[in-house]
């Protein structure tokens, strides 16, 4: 029952969550595994949520896992050789987010886990497994959009529509995720005031950035959104007939195609022809 400081939709370890087992359920599960002829309890796992920076809830999850391991082994129900507090380490998407401290975090977690194991379980140390997801790959991805229509509001704000949005990055619509962006040809040009970056779909929730100071933009300009390497295309959809973009790998000075852009034929490929009248 642990909750990191993150959006409620990214919490998974709280009581009443659809995920995981309560302490009592875990004890029942351990007994049932011990009684099952073809099962062996060899590891314990938790995942308390995603995209958080304060590691204290992860430390508490480690304490709980070590306490459960001590109970499992004390009851003779198994030998816990692996234990994992899951993933969730946050990455900066927006200038207000803290700087990444992946190495420090991994060091802190492994030192804490070794101590917790020693204090609560003793005996041979089990293998600690960490499950870094976005902290490894989110910053490896840049999403490129082309600027289309623009509106200038009387408040001075611009609404800039680009050729993608919630269909290739659901995170702003799903949980208000905040991003930064730059114009590819003029990343450091002076701002021309605030802009809202929106997609072309028939949803007011179809936006990428609620408000960002951007230089003057023109239709055809390329807008770059960093931090697009995780939970973007894996959540992409064809809503409103949107076509998923192509994916390129930039490695050793070369651009290598990884996925081609979708076509209308891709959208239709599961459709059956209507039966003859
Ligand atoms: C069990 C488990 N471990 C690790 C992760 C990775 O999470 P993150 O990308 O936030 O580090 C997830 C993501 O959903 C998960 O479900």
Q: Mean pLDDT of successive 10-residue segments in the chain (277 residues)?
A: 76 82 95 97 94 93 96 96 94 92 93 94 89 94 98 94 97 96 97 97 97 97 97 96 97 96 97 92
Whole-number pLDDT of residue 5: 79
Tokens of 112: 């804490």
Domains of the chain, with CATH numbers?
A: 8-137 (3.20.20.10), 141-260 (2.40.37.10)
Q: Are 99 and 92 in contact (CB under 8 A)?
A: yes
Ligand 1 pocket residue status of 132, Cβ below 6 Å = yes
Residue 2 confidence (pLDDT): 67
Judge if the beta carbon of residue 49 lies within 6 A of ligand 1: no
Burial of 27 from C-beta contacts in 10 A (0-12 / 13-18 / 19+): middle
Picking from 213, 192, 207, the residue whose alpha carbon sits closest to that of residue 161 is 207
What integer best gives the mean pLDDT of the chain? 94
Any atom of ligand 1 within 6 Å of the Cβ of 47: yes
Contact predicate 10/51, CB 8 Å: yes
| DSSP β-ladder status, 247-251 and 207-213 | unpaired
CA 231 / ligand 1 centre spacing (Å): 10
* Beta-strand relationship, 82-86 and 127-130: parallel
């Amino acid at each position: 029952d642990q909750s990191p400081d993150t959006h409620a939709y990214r919490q998974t370890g709280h009581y009443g969550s659809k995920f995981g087992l309560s302490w009592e359920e875990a004890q029942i599960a351990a007994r049932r595994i011990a009684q099952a002829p073809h099962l062996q309890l060899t590891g314990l796992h938790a995942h308390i949520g995603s995209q958080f920076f304060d590691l204290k809830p992860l430390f508490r999850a480690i304490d709980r896992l070590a306490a459960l391991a001590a109970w499992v082994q004390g009851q003779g129900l198994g030998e816990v050789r692996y234990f994992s507090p899951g993933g969730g380490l946050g990455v900066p998407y927006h200038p207000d987010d803290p700087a990444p401290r992946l190495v420090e975090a991994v060091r802190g977690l492994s030192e804490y886990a070794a101590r917790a194991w020693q204090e609560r379980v003793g005996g041979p140390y089990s293998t600690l497994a960490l499950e870094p997801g976005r902290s490894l790959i989110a910053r490896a991805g840049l999403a490129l959009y082309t600027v289309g229509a623009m509106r200038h509001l009387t408040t001075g704000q611009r609404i800039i529509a680009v050729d993608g949005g919630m269909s290739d990055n659901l995170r702003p619509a799903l949980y208000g995720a905040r991003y930064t962006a730059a114009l590819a040809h003029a990343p450091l040009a002076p701002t021309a005031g605030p802009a809202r970056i929106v997609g072309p779909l028939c949803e007011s929730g179809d936006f990428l950035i609620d408000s960002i100071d951007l230089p003057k933009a023109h239709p055809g300009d390329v807008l770059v959104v960093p931090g697009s390497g995780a939970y973007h295309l894996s959540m992409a959809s064809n809503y409103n007939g949107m076509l998923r973009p192509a994916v390129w790998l930039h490695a050793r000075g070369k651009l290598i195609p990884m996925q081609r852009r979708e076509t209308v034929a891709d959208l239709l490929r599961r459709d059956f022809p209507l039966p003859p009248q």
